[in-house]
Structure 1
Amino acid sequence: MQVEKAFGFFPVDYIFEIKNTLFSLLNWNDISYVAQGTNVERKIFPYILESYSYSLTLLFVSLLIALLFAVFLTTVTFYLPSKLQGAIRKLSHIAEALPDVFVIFSLQLGAVWVFKHTNLLVTEPYALSGQKIYFLPILTLSLIPMIYLYKNTLMMYENELGKPYVEFGVSKGIGKLQILLRHVFPNVLLSFFYNLKYMYLLLISHMIILEYMYNIYGLLQFMTNHPSYEIITVGVLLLTLPISLVFFFIKLLLPKGVTYYDQAAV
């Protein structure tokens, strides 16, 4: 007899599943899954950790590269003519609007084009048989947050440059680069941490598409292939734990009296 699946909200079943999931988390070492393509049942630990470490490496390296290049490009922009600065801003708006799939496919196609015309395999455009690739996934993941950070860092630099302490530094004959790096940049860096959680969540959303198109077996692919309540909950906790620890230590290192308000550290 075929069981019909009803669509709706069932409070009793919902609470029951939450209770079962919490109970499973208390006995996390007993959570298991059936390996894809086999009938072999395995416990998720330590198998999930390999996928987790791979995804976490891609996420944090991409975030670090995005921050460094955003700051570098912002600093360089202030040395360019005003017309060129305006053109770069318009270009950043266009680049930010490009779909993830388009960016990934373009980079893959570019790697294939280079190999076809030069016989030089710059990077693997696609992972095969559980292969771990890094260059293109990190490049792809860092591009969109880099553009976002560049636009926001540029705006924050402009706000800081209009403050009295910058005018005082200019009147004393301090060079523009020294003002940007030694005085403006630390204040901008504090404000950047306000957006860190948003950027991390943005990267995770891109990872879902990226793991599929590059055929890489990261944590999100692991969760998709084994969609049980317990495994998804463990995966989400593993993804949120690092950023929570980073924020905890950042708050310890921040000067006393620094609070967050309207995307700025004050």
Structure 2
Amino acid sequence: MKRLLRLLIRIILILFGFLFIFTLPFVFGSANDTVLVNFRTFWDGLKLNFQSLTQMNDSSYLAFFKELDITNSYQYTMTILGGSLIVIIFLAIVISILIMLTPEKVSNRLKNGINFFEAVPDLLVILLIMFSVITLYKTTGLKFLQLYGVFGNKPYFVPIMTVSFLPLFLLLQFLVKVINEEQNQQYVLYAKAKGIGRLRILLVHIMRNIFPLLILQLRTIVWVLLSNIYLVEFLFNINGFTQQFLKVLFMGGDFASLVACLLMLSIPLLVMEALAWFISKFIKGKEAVSI
């Protein structure tokens, strides 16, 4: 009950935060090259926006969403997000295990490489991938990857690989760190003393124990993916959900539509928050997970 009440208060505060931020420009005006502050217009705008929130079930808002192709663009963006998450989790787990199994000299060099790529700016990676695909097409005439979203076509492979690049190294860096810390735990040393192989220890014991921490880290990964998806959809001219949101924002969309778009964009974050909470409750008080 206390948790439900806390969640309700959090939702109310989020909605009031939206109201305040989007109504704040009404405070300021200009006349005769001077800046005017008028709290009456702010209050009127606040009441108007609040009234539009209470009328979100009006069919006109649904028609506005349909006109902008919100549903299809949202499905596309969530497909990119889901595909990227699957690729990142799979590759990060496989590569981290391989790094742990390699000799120490090779392992240290690989870790340095991971630290280097994790620090590369997102925009630089996106531009390099665009340049590479275009250069390959111009020099060889080989067009095996769809890069831009034109004539209603929406690419999948290149956007997923592009938005996954840096989050992959971020998660990989995290996994390598926690696996290194976990290898000093008593149960790992005991398993080694019993003669259990390194691969089995990693797969059966260590990966099982760090899985809850992996879920918790995915909250950060989702944030990074959403920011990368915005850049990719803008640079690749893809008609995804973030581009539809910009249309709502800059083409006279009403306040209720803006809030609805923001809430839709926050759904994956809320899902990860809920999953992380359930996992943390599940492992609470257990000594098996002791990183």
Shorter-chain TM-score range: 0.7 to 0.9
Matches within 5 A, 1:237-248: 237-248=263-274
Q: Deviations over 1:21-56 (max 9, x none)?
A: 3433333243768xxxxxxx9521473111111111
Q: Does 1:198 align with 2:214?
A: no
Name structure 1 gaps, 5 residues minimum: 34-40
Matches within 5 A, 1:63-74: 63-74=85-96
* Range with greater deviation from structure 2 (151-160 or 219-228): 219-228
CA distance in 1, matches of 2:75, 2:247: 17
Structure 1 window deviating more from structure 2 (108-117 vs 174-183): it is 108-117
Give 1:62 deviation, angstroms. Answer: 0.7
User: What do the CA deviations read for 1:187-210 (whole angstroms, capped 9, x no partner)?
Assistant: 211111222222211211222211
Unaligned runs of 5+ in 2: 1-28
Letter in 2 for 1:221: Q
Is the 2:218–2:272 contact (alpha carbons within 8 Å) kept by the matching residues of 1? no
Q: Which amino acid aligns with 1:155?
A: K
Helix, strand or coil for the counterpart of 2:210? helix
**Which has the larger helix fraction?**
2
Q: Bigger shift: 157-166 or 248-257?
A: 248-257
Q: Is it true that 1:179 corresponds to 2:164 in the alignment?
A: no
Alignment of 1:43-82 (within 5 A): 43-45=64-66, 47-82=69-104
- Any residues of structure 2 matched to 1:8-47 within 5 Å, and which? 13-14=41-42, 16-30=44-58, 42-45=63-66, 47=69
Question: Alignment identity in percent?
Answer: 25
Aligned partners of 1:48 and 1:222 also within 8 Å: yes
Q: Does 1:92 align with 2:114?
A: yes
> Residue 54 of structure 1: SS of its match in structure 2?
helix
Contact 1:123/1:136 (8 A) holds in 2: yes
Q: Secondary structure at the match of 1:20?
A: helix
Q: 1:22 to 1:168 in 2, by over 3 A?
A: farther
Q: Is the 8 A contact 2:77 2:241 kept in 1?
A: yes
The 5-angstrom pairing of residues 119-134 of structure 1 reads 119-134=141-156
Residues in 1 aligned to 2:36 and 2:284: alpha-carbon distance in whole angstroms: 46
2:284 to 258, 261, 264: 258
Task: Using the TM superposition, give the Cα deviation of residue 253 of structure 1 relative to its aligned residue in structure 2, in angstroms.
Answer: 6.0
Work out which of the residue numbers 225, 245, 256 in structure 2 matches 1:230: 256
- Cα RMSD for the two superposed structures: 2.9
Normalising by structure 1, what TM-score?
0.83
Give the alignment's TM-score, normalised by structure 2.
0.76
CA 1:42–1:186 in 2, change beyond 3 Å: closer, same or farther? same
1:4 to 30, 47, 51: 30
Counterparts of 1:20 and 1:265 in 2: how far apart (Å)?
A: 52
